[in-house]
Amino acid sequence: MSKTILIIDDESTIRWILKVSLEDKDLNIVEASSGEEGIEMAKQISPDLIIMDYKMPDMNGWQATAQIKKFLPNVIVIGHTGYASEKNLQEGLDLGCSQILQKPVDLDEWDLTISKYLS
């Protein structure tokens, strides 16, 4: 049975890059373009792993992570951000991210990280 990954990012290009990079794996990829949409999708599909952008217009990714963790406390959330201050990274970890990667997206790093959490 394939695992489900939910990509939550307001940038369609980032979602597309991540989706294409994961296509050769036996994964079900679902996308959401905002924190609120991502929360609703997570309720519907209960993903195995979430890739969460930090900076989005409706709510930031760390806030969305905290909301998702209320009903899916064991879901793995890998955050990614171009705003990687020490305070911001710590806040993401405190609110439920398992790990946070920095933009620009390094596809090899994503591949290793996702494989680590899904194995």
Q: How confident is the model at residue 1 (pLDDT cuts 50, 70, 90)?
A: low
Question: Taking Cα atoms as reference points, which of 40, 30, 18 lies closest to residue 107?
Answer: 18
Fold of 3-118: Rossmann fold (3.40.50)
29 token code pair: 């990829």
Who has greater pLDDT, 24 or 28?
28
β-sheet with 49-53: strand ranges across:
27-32, 3-8, 49-53, 76-81, 99-102
Q: CB–CB of 38/68 below 8 Å?
A: yes
DSSP state of 10: S
Q: What angle do CA 58, 61, 63 make, to 5 degrees?
A: 80
Q: How confident is the model at residue 83 (pLDDT cuts 50, 70, 90)?
A: confident
Q: How confident is the model at residue 84 (pLDDT cuts 50, 70, 90)?
A: confident
- The pLDDT, as a whole number, for residue 104 is 83
The ranges assigned to domains in the chain are 3-118
Long-range CB contacts (within 8 A, 24+) of 96-104: 96/62, 96/65, 96/66, 96/68, 96/69, 97/52, 97/62, 97/65, 103/14
* HEC-encoded secondary structure of 26-47: CEEEEEECCHHHHHHHHHHHCC
What is the chain's alpha carbon radius of gyration, rounded to the nearest angstrom?
13
